[in-house]
Amino acid sequence: MCLSVQIRFFITLVFLLGTFSPQAKGKLFDVLDFGAVGDARTDDSKAFLDAWRSVCEATTTSGATIPTLQVPAGKTFLLKQVKFSGPCKSATVQIQMMGNIIAPISTDWTDCKSGCWLCFDHVDNLIISGTATINGNGAVWWQKSTHEKIGDCNKPAVLYFQSCNNLRVSGLTSHNSPLNHIGISGCKDVSISKINLIAPKDSPNTDGIDIANSKELDISDSFIGTGDDCIAINGGSSNIKITRLNCGPGHGISVGSLGKDGSNDMVQEVHVRNCTFNGTQNGARIKTWAGGLGFARSISYEDIILIGAGNPIFIDQHYCPRQNCPPEKQTAVKVSDITFSKFQGTSADNIAITLNCSSIVPCTNIKMNLVNITSLNPSSKVEAICNHADGTATFTAPVVPCLSSVQDVLIRREGQTQDGDQKPQYYEL
């Protein structure tokens, strides 16, 4: 073979090898190129991990394509527990999740002691988007208690993000999670939008989004219907904005529980706006345990629609979901500077507003404004009960007896019309 022919053969061989190499697509890493099958029966966990390692090792320069793990449409990928670990070399990495993902049946769960299924750890600037449906096959887990295992596996959350800053998640649907659909812990600057989180109303502990020790979260334009809190905001969390969320079924949007077993929990600057509670067990809720420490403060719920919601407004400083609850102790989580504004709709319970506060550390500066809650049953009336709370209620029904009421106050001031006649002018406070 002459030299020129050898050179041409070598060039052709290199080109062909590059064509069939997963890395040949530049910064796009398709899981099929790493051996994934996508038939909903074959375990594709290794292929996903191999693709992720390539994504995480890839580097980019300014303006270059972001390293991307691609999950192609038209297939369903069976995954056991998969841990996507960082930090990655590129400033930003992304996952385009178009194909569906399904969890194993219970007997095939192995090596998942960490309590998560699709786990992300220390991956900053992560973008996850797509139209995929993630099926957690959670029914068998719902028969187990929270801490009961299957094999060596703890009950897992579907998507769990630990120490992932500047995180963006959009477009996904999660069905039938064993535990939480999404867990956020130790994260900063998180945006979650246009997602659907769905589980039956009797599925235990299937919180939609569970937040802990995280700050600067923006959750918007989503539907959450589960068997537990649509969103639960736990200790160490702050600066959280929730807008345009449809919640139901579920236990509402809850701050807490806080202060369990005497813990010192702090939550502040939580703002919920333009949301709907439809057939939920609770609506706007703050829950703390007796004997806890810390605070829940600067929290607002505004522009809320209620459709047959239970406990539409509920502050409970004696939270205890089990029997043999402890009595009040000498400490309590301080609840203050809480605003409920522009609530409209129906309550499934006769008690529409409950302020069950501590005699040791009462609730302070509770404000209600433009709240109008009626009974789901047109022949019934609703009422409010409250203990150890102070603040104001303006244009609020039902009347909240422990809050100072400012109802329809008009001030009359004399003014003159253009023709000199005296004309009364009224100003609302």
Of 46, 66, 63, residue with least CA distance to 55: 66
144 falls in which pLDDT band (50, 70, 90)?
confident
- Please give the Cα distance from 93 to 88 (Å, whole number): 8
- Express each pLDDT in 117-138 by its tens digit: 999 999 999 999 999 999 999 9
Catalytic, out of 147, 181, 251, 388:
251
| Residue indicated by tokens 């996850």 | 128
What tokens does 277 get? 């509670």
- For the chain, give the percent of residues with pLDDT over 70: 86
Residue type (1 letter), 102: I
Q: How confident is the model at residue 409, as a pLDDT?
A: 39
- Please give the Cα distance from 258 to 362 (Å, whole number): 15
- Catalytic annotation present for 271: no
**DSSP 3-state of 19:** helix
- Spelled out in words, what is the top-level CATH class assigned to the domain 229-429? mainly beta
More confident residue, 14 or 159: 159
Q: How confident is the model at residue 9, as a pLDDT?
A: 41
pLDDT score of 16 more than 50: no
- Express each pLDDT in 352-394 by its tens digit: 999 999 999 999 999 999 999 999 999 999 999 999 999 999 9
Q: What is the DSSP string of 131-169?
A: --EEE---HHHHTS-TT--BTTBPPPEEEEEES--SEEE
Per-residue HEC secondary structure of 351-365 comes to: EEEEEECCCCCCEEE
